[in-house]
Amino acid sequence: MRRIVYKRVMEETKNCCVCQGRARGLTCVRCSGAVCKNCAHFISADDFPLAVACGETVPDGTFCHGCFLAEVDSALLAYQAAVKAAEDVFVYYRTEAKESYFIRRTERPLKTTETDDRTKAMLQLAYLTAKAGYNCLVDVQLNSKKKITQGYQKSFWSAIGIPAQVDPVQIQNRSRPS
Ligand SMILES: [Zn+2]
Ligand SMILES: [Zn+2]
């Protein structure tokens, strides 16, 4: 009679640095501490879509709760505040030079990268504007380019405009980025 000896491979189990439970292989990308599924925060580029589209470096990976509070939480709040401010940016297109004549143009134009959508390009430009501390865009131009990708013709959009500061009360009823 042959006996088959099963060798049990014991997985190296570490305890979670937050709750001391079994960590099962998850590690915090910031402090390298083991972390269990319940205590882990899974952060990815999807949590910062506009920032990523604008080429910013964002927190990415698994974080323990301590590192989440130290690094990610404030980054998420700052990102959300910038997105909200971007949605409130006043927009004057280049064709509206008459309406925007009173706005001082002192800054250099901001420019987005190419994106597959007109609205995304506009939001990117507004996001860059809000992050630079301005609440208005003047002389905005949206440019589209057609490119053939994998046999299909696709449009790529980019936006350019000059950031400016305006008194919101003075220009109510202005269109927002869209
Ligand atoms: Zn835990
Ligand atoms: Zn950590």
Place of tokens 């597959």: 116
The bound ligand whose nearest atom lies closest to the alpha carbon of 62 is 2
Question: What is the per-residue burial (b if ≥16 Cβ within 10 Å, else e) of 23-37?
Answer: beebbbebeebbbbe
**Ligand closest to CA 23:** 1
Q: Which-ligand-closest: CA of 43?
A: 2
Residues by chain with Cβ below 5 Å of ion ligand 1: 16, 18-19, 21, 36, 39
Q: Residue 177 pLDDT > 90, yes or no?
A: no
d(CA 86, CA 125): 8
Distance (Å) from CA 36 to ligand 2 centroid = 11
CA distances from 9 to 4, 12, 16, 23, 36 (A): 15, 9, 21, 17, 21
Closest-approaching ligand to the CA atom of 69 = 2
Q: What digits encode the pLDDT tens for the residues 57-97?
A: 999 999 999 999 999 999 999 999 999 999 999 999 999 99
Which ligand has the minimum distance to the alpha carbon of residue 17?
Answer: 1
- Residues above pLDDT 70, as percent of the chain: 89
Q: What domains, with CATH codes, occur in the chain?
A: 1-87 (3.30.40), 89-164 (3.30.110)
Gap from CA of 68 to ligand 1 centroid (Å) = 13
Per-residue pLDDT, 2: 61
Specify the pTM.
0.81
